[in-house]
Structure 1
């Protein structure tokens, strides 16, 4: 019999690849669902493919299988194959819940009502229709949704790009007007730096959407920035936590913690720096940018002057950019093997001396700053990538971030 669903009790729970790998992992998911039900909450699950690269059903493994035969990157058939990893996870977790006496159903992105454009490999979501999910919930059935995928307006399976399962969870949470979205991963929460780089990195109990967005955009792998965008526009609370721990994790909302200067430090690589110098007055800026757009080359850390241009690109796009520059007859120099280290915080431009401390921490330890850029809450420094880990540690120490428990 159908029942009225109180959307304020819906909790969307997204489980990453390392949280669904083994039957032990899936049993922990079952226990978390049972705990929600005991609290009279309504769980809706979103899952990633099992494991990481080299795991049999991981997305990277499936891509590797395909590219042994064909190198196409944005292809309809490749999307079809990549979507299988999440579907396998969803069916196994649904089976685990059903075996425990619960009533569950595995769903594809199509079943979940996620409609996209026709782009393969990184589709844009056009609409989310939660009608079928709501029907299941009204019948007491727990949906287990395959993340990372949707259905195009032409009826083709599409994928949402890296981090797409996070985005799926946020979109479902928004469409259902859920109480919150919980992102389960293999760390206790968002930390002041990557704990594999900085041993004394600390867990942040709370942060803003903007801070989380900038962390994700500048290399932090804990959450996809598209998911943060969705959460921010709908005021949806995000909680990042560990499925193997009872730790409260990190809550992401619009609440600003004014007392801390910096929130986190990230590093991202590989980047290649380009230098276009001694440009003539006749240099066609529009034609240059149009060619980059045509080739889908995004540039970052941009410094454009009348007679020179400096910027960086993802190193994987070097060949395409070199080809474009040579076709346009533009001379250039480039510096390979670079990393971008970024400090992030709401008060970064409201406290004097931040840049001085950054320069002292890096240059004072023999790390040359090749280029800088900034925004309202970030300062990024381009350095050689063999010093990236050192740079993050020196900055973390210079700003006493091991004491940052905000």
Structure 2
């Protein structure tokens, strides 16, 4: 008997048929003797009636500057609807279930509305229910402050809820259900040779998630990693075994040999900023950027300049800061960050050489590059992303 937390995303709950298939996954786990807790997202995606973005639009159309506290109230409604519908379906099938909001489940957060951090999970109510053979169906993406205000955990928050609940109740396994068969070596829309990853380490999946993979939120991975809880990414609509996430390294299924790279991912809408190094105000500039809650990435420091990238949505504010200090800078718009990931390439000579040679032979310009122990990040023009991913995937036989 295992304690299992199953999380179902919006596409797994979008239609009546999808919800019934999701409910069957829960019943299958429950009937083999597992103690099960369920976490649900809002039903569907943008433009679906109960999706989070749809609920946001109800107030944004009235006043685009609606307060963050009030916004959290309406954003939390989609998950409440999902939880009640899901628990009702389980009860109809003869499996006892109770819907719980984040607050009722004991998820306590800070008051950083729209992107709250969890402080603690008082899990007594959850454990009491599962010990009684009742399945708690918990609203993902939300919690409550110590003052009683409803908060949301930011994008991917339902994944985070699943992980923090699993940690709090001492779960053995977290299953993240979605509409694909598992994590893939690359986005199949970018690389037709992308394949399902059978097994992957925590660090590698964290890097994939942090650098653009949208299947799982990096914060959720970090939580199960620290708690040493196994995680699986599975498809609600198939019986595929999915991707298993553990501390183990993985091997190439065909060659049975450990491979250097695990996957390739990308982030679009990146902007490269290059600042003249001789400017005396560099320190103040970076301080002000940080105070504006703008994250910078791929920082390179040269003798004559500094280069870094930002999300395109922050370009206007960064330009204002740079203009305020009257510095000499260049902007390279319409870029994308491509990251290759693999624990096994640590300390292996020649990886960057192969990357450069591969892209040069295909006339792909590398605008900037940064490497770490398990990743190499490359900045390329947006129009070259698909070709870059395809050629690197081929070069390293991922």
Could you state the TM-score of these two structures normalised by the residue count of structure 2?
0.95
Partner of 2:385: 388
- Any conservation in 1 of the 2:277–2:302 contact (CA below 8 Å)? no
1:348 corresponds in structure 2 to 345
1:347 aligned counterpart, secondary structure: helix
TM-superposed CA distance for 1:23, in Å, is: 1.3
Selected match of 1:47 from 18, 25, 40: 40
Q: How many Å separate the matches in 2 of 1:376 and 1:231?
A: 22
- How big is each residue's C-alpha offset from its partner over 1:175-222, in whole Å with a ceiling of 9 and x where there is no partner? 111110000011101111111221221111111100000000000001
Structure 2 gap segments, 5+ residues each: 252-257
Give 1:283's aligned residue.
281
Task: Indicate the SS of the match to 2:76.
Answer: helix
Distance 1:57 1:50 in 2: 6
Answering whether residue 376 of structure 2 is matched by residue 365 of structure 1, we say no
Displacement of 1:244: 1.0
Q: What is the root-mean-square deviation in Å for CA atoms of aligned residues?
A: 1.5
SS at match of 2:391: helix
Q: Per the alignment, in what secondary structure is the counterpart of residue 339 of structure 2?
A: strand
Measured after TM superposition, the shift of residue 304 of structure 1 is 2.4
For the residues of structure 2 that align with 1:328 and 1:107, how far apart are their CA atoms? 51
Q: After the TM superposition, which of the residue ranges 149-158 and 252-261 deviates more from structure 2?
A: 252-261
Q: Is residue 277–residue 306 contact of structure 2 (8 Å, CA) maintained in 1?
A: no
- Which residue in 2 is equivalent to 1:119? 112
Query: Are the structure 2 counterparts of residues 380 and 228 from structure 1 closer, same or farther at C-alpha, using a change threshold of 3 Å?
Result: same
Question: Structure 1 runs of 4+ off > 6 angstroms?
Answer: none
- How many Å separate the matches in 2 of 1:82 and 1:328? 39
Does the CA-based 8 Å contact 1:304-1:310 persist in structure 2? yes
CA contact (8 A) 1:74 1:120 kept: no
- Structure-1 residue corresponding to 2:203: 210
- Number of equivalences: 392
Structure 1 unaligned regions, length at least 5: 1-7, 402-406
CA distance in 1, matches of 2:217, 2:285: 30
Shift of 1:25: 1.3
Q: Is residue 2:74 matched to residue 1:76?
A: no
1:1-400 → structure 2 map (5 Å cutoff): 9-72=2-65, 75-257=68-250, 259-277=258-276, 279-280=278-279, 282-285=280-283, 287-305=284-302, 307-400=304-397
1: CA distance, partners of 2:239 / 2:58: 37
Distance across 2 between alignment mates of 1:248 and 1:376: 30
- Following TM superposition, by how much is the alpha carbon of 1:20 offset from its aligned partner in structure 2, in angstroms? 0.8
Contact 1:274 1:312 in 2 (8 A): yes
Q: 1:351 to 1:145 in 2, by over 3 A?
A: same
2:277–2:303 contact (8 Å) kept in structure 1: no
Q: Secondary structure at the match of 1:184?
A: strand
CA spacing shift, 1:305–1:355, aligned 2, 3 Å? closer
Separation (CA, whole Å) in 2 of partners of 1:81 and 1:386: 38
- CA distance in 2: counterparts of 1:305 and 1:291, whole angstroms: 21
